[in-house]
Amino acid sequence: MTSDLAAARARAFEIIKKKSFVRGEITLASGAKSDHYFNMKPTMLDPEGAKALSELILDRLKDVEVDYIGGLEMGAVPLIGPLALVSGLQGRPIPGFFVRKAVKGHGTRQRIEGVSDLSGKRVVVVEDVTTTGGSAMSAIEALREVGAEISLVISILDRQSGATELYRDATIPFASLFTSAEFLKEASSS
């Protein structure tokens, strides 16, 4: 990792710790209870956070064949635009898309927005926080229905609660920038 990327990772960690990591009992999207929570929206919507996360994700994609990058609403949406922008600035433009949780009842009635045809295209699915992997699998199913090939699922943060095993069993490559253990370790040593 270059010194610029190491600095981006350290800065992203600090922004997540300050803006997105919360202690206290919470019910997760999976239905499980937890004593900590990660709400990545404040980090993804922070200019410095969006830039650092985009640089880190795009670095992870340097050896991945990818035509488009996107993910399930709402978790991936705040980062899709910055990823597309930074990829273009880096000379490797990767257009974005997002997958609706349900088909909208008006307009074009599309479940996948931002691109008209993903058939045969290699896509990377971005997720803000991964717990069991079920949310991203919903997006993957919709993408496969239109003929997309899944190159990778990448999460900002893996809660280490089954997603790695889910993707391994489904033979889908998975990576994360951070793990919950990194933040819990930091919190316990403070």
Is residue 164 annotated as involved in ligand binding?
Answer: no
Q: Are 19 and 46 in contact (CB under 8 A)?
A: yes
Is residue 158 annotated as involved in ligand binding?
Answer: no
Is residue 127 annotated as involved in ligand binding?
Answer: yes
3-state DSSP of 76-87: CHHHHHHHHHHH
Is residue 138 annotated as involved in ligand binding?
Answer: no
The two tokens of residue 187 are 């919190």
Is residue 128 annotated as involved in ligand binding?
Answer: yes
Is residue 168 annotated as involved in ligand binding?
Answer: no
Residue with tokens 């009635």: 109
CA atoms within 13 A on the CB side of 58: 26
Is residue 135 annotated as involved in ligand binding?
Answer: yes
CA 91 to chain CA centroid, Å, is: 21
Q: Are 128 and 40 in contact (CB under 8 A)?
A: yes
Rounded distance, CA 87 to CA 96, Å? 10
Is residue 130 annotated as involved in ligand binding?
Answer: yes
Binding-site residues from annotation for 5-phospho-alpha-D-ribose 1-diphosphate: 100-101, 104, 106, 127-135
Binding-site residues from annotation: 100-101, 104, 106, 127-135, 159
Binding-site residues from annotation for orotate: 131, 159
